[in-house]
Amino acid sequence: FSADIISTVEFNHTGELLATGDKGGRVVIFQREQESKNQPHRRGEYNVYSTFQSHEPEFDYLKSLEIEEKINKIRWLPQQNAAYFLLSTNDKTVKLWKVSERDKRPEGYNLKDEDGRLRDPSMITMLRVPVLRPMDLMVEATPRRVFANAHTYHINSISVNSDYETYMSADDLRINLWNFEITNQSFNIVDIKPANMEELTEVITAAEFHPHHCNTFVYSSSKGTIRLCDMRAAALCDRHSKFFEEPEDPSNRSFFSEIISSISDVKFSHSGRYIMTRDYLTVKVWDLNMENRPIETYQVHDYLRSKLCSLYENDCIFDKFECVWNGSDSVIMTGSYNNFFRMFDRNTKRDVTLEASRENSKPRAILKPRKVCVGGKRRKDEISVDSLDFSKKILHTAWHPSENIIAVAATNNLYIFQDKVN
């Protein structure tokens, strides 16, 4: 079912919880089992912890537009008490959810019975003292805040600030800053909407706060550029403080150049020193101190360069692939087609193509590297470019913050792969 297509995947800050959002507006949270003492060689597996409907389809009567319930992004807040908090967003509305456990329930009300029905007052002859009785563990999700009516265009990113009091939401043309406590007001911090929409040449594609400096954030654009903004410089950050762009190689210029240079994701490294961007064919790593070119460029699927025409015709060229760092910023992961995903080791410069499939997800199965063959003779185990399945795309992946555990969303399947112990 298309409602089951996973549209975002996100670990919490310690990796014990993993949340997914789907096209049907649902959020599913997985929790890692405690490691069992009897089976010390088995790492804790992730099991469903809570499932809830975060967004519903809506209709915008003013514009006669359907608003999809699809969850575009989920971001966890750091845990502060027994409950967990996360933000989820569709195209228009961000919601703050509280997820909490309950294992006791009050019993012995005076005015109502155990099912909540009011008791006949004439039958109440004595006062009871309500008590808490243990019950099966229940996980409840409750919407705590709804941040609506601030976006005219589609929200593509949300990012929690390191001050943990504010977050931002970005759409095609604007970025808003919110306080978690205030839902009826947000501050517009970036606005690139031209006075005349016919002059529109560029849209915002992704945005993220710096992991440690609460005044700094970046946003990427459909023209392949990244802007770093400092909120201390001015309230409206229309003037960036840094501008990252790689001059185009004129020999590679084609009809598709602008489309394939559009950035689909931007991520700060955990250290805050680098930013990573994903465009259609590559992943790039930029040093915050060098604006004129990336320090590293990795080819994700360069063999598609000769297929851009058909990828344009079937709209695949507009797919928005995300990218992630591993916990130590030494490895990069991003998706491709045919349920393939790629890893690049920044130190050894080695790269690998892996496949998310049922076969590989059996317990103790080992992920075998895959190879795509370009022209010439195809060796055993290789797959030819022409037989790649472009309907199987890996757009969303997540890497555990401190261990080698990855979550890969392949259409409506979630795969979790982890390192072997010893």
Ligand X SMILES: *[C@@H]1O[C@H](CO)[C@@H](O)[C@H](O)[C@H]1NC(C)=O
* Contact footprint for ligand X (CB under 6 A): 12-14, 16-17, 31, 78-79, 184-185, 249, 252, 302, 305, 326-328, 330-331, 402, 404
Report the residue count for the chain.
422
CB of 71 to ligand X, least distance (A): 19
- Nearer Cβ to ligand X, position 83 or 192? 83
- Nearer Cβ to ligand X, position 24 or 294? 294
CB of 198 to ligand X, least distance (A): 30
Q: What's the number of CA atoms in the CB half-sphere (13 Å) around residue 379?
A: 4
CB of 404 to ligand X, least distance (A): 5
- Nearer Cβ to ligand X, position 31 or 221? 31
CB of 109 to ligand X, least distance (A): 32
- What is the pairing mode between strands 46-53 and 204-209? unpaired
| DSSP letter string, 340-386 | EEEEEETTT--EEEEE--TGGGSTT--PPP-EEE-SSPPPTTEEEGG
CB of 402 to ligand X, least distance (A): 5
DSSP state of 125: -
Pair 20, 5: CB distance under 8 Å = no
Calpha distance 199→99 (Å, rounded):
45
Shortest-Cβ-distance residue relative to ligand X: 327
Calpha distance 104→109 (Å, rounded):
15
- Nearer Cβ to ligand X, position 183 or 339? 183
Question: What SS3 state is found at 4?
Answer: helix
- Nearer Cβ to ligand X, position 279 or 322? 279
- For 14, 194, 235, 270, 282, the CA distances from 330, given in Å and listed in that order, are 18, 40, 35, 10, 17
CB of 179 to ligand X, least distance (A): 11
- Nearer Cβ to ligand X, position 303 or 390? 303
CB of 294 to ligand X, least distance (A): 10
CB of 305 to ligand X, least distance (A): 5
CA dihedral 30, 34, 38, 42 (to 10 degrees): 50
Pair 344, 283: CB distance under 8 Å = yes
Helix (H) or strand (E) holding 313: helix 308-313
- What is the pairing mode between strands 371-373 and 382-384? parallel
- Nearer Cβ to ligand X, position 14 or 271? 14
- Nearer Cβ to ligand X, position 71 or 331? 331
